[in-house]
Structure 1
């Protein structure tokens, strides 16, 4: 198992947990729905990468890229580190690992 799979899975779990926390704290159904969908897609991408499907890597990069852009805009708007800053930093790290894996293969 390579780092790209681990990062896709971990960022997916983090997105799901973040959506659940957003729902619990702010009663935000949008957080729950978007966190669940994006997290599920990342976990699915990690699974397909494990199965040797190259499009799993592409899906992980696309979903992570969208999340990084979203959270970067959210951080610029709210200026609050949690959760936008943390998700932006972790997303950029995950994206760097994922893209590096694609380029080296």
Structure 2
């Protein structure tokens, strides 16, 4: 299991947990829905990567980049580190690990 898979899986799980936490603390159905959907897509991309399909890594990179933008805008709007700032930082770390995995994959070909 490579770091790209682990990063996508971990960020997906955190997205789902964050959605549930947003629902519990603020009663936000949107947090529950968006956190669950984005988390499931990232977990799906990790599963696809485990099956040896390289497009799973691409899916994870694209979706992580989208989440970074969404959370960065939310951070700029609210100026609160939790949860938008944390998810932005973790998203950037996840994307860095995924890009690193891309580099490893292309250098071994």
Q: TM-score range by the shorter chain?
A: over 0.9
Q: 2:68 is paired with a residue of what secondary structure?
A: helix
Residue deviations 1:55-75 (CA, integer Å, cap 9, x gap): 100110011011100000000
* Cα distance in structure 2, aligned partners of 1:90 and 1:66: 13
Where in structure 2 are there 5+ consecutive unaligned residues? none
Q: 1:104 Cα deviation (Å)? A: 2.4
Q: TM-score of the superposition, structure 1-length normalised?
A: 0.98
Q: 1:88 is paired with a residue of what secondary structure?
A: helix
Q: 1:46 Cα deviation (Å)? A: 0.3
Q: Equivalent residue for 1:5? A: 5
* Cα distance in structure 2, aligned partners of 1:41 and 1:48: 10
* Cα distance in structure 2, aligned partners of 1:99 and 1:44: 18
Alignment length, in residue pairs? 105
Instruction: Please tell me the root mean square deviation across aligned C-alpha atoms, in Å.
Output: 0.6
Q: Equivalent residue for 1:60? A: 60
* Cα distance in structure 2, aligned partners of 1:13 and 1:47: 13
Deviating 4+ runs (over 3 angstroms): none
Q: 1:100 Cα deviation (Å)? A: 1.5
Where in structure 1 are there 5+ consecutive unaligned residues? none
Q: Equivalent residue for 1:37? A: 37
* Cα distance in structure 2, aligned partners of 1:84 and 1:77: 10
Q: Equivalent residue for 1:95? A: 95
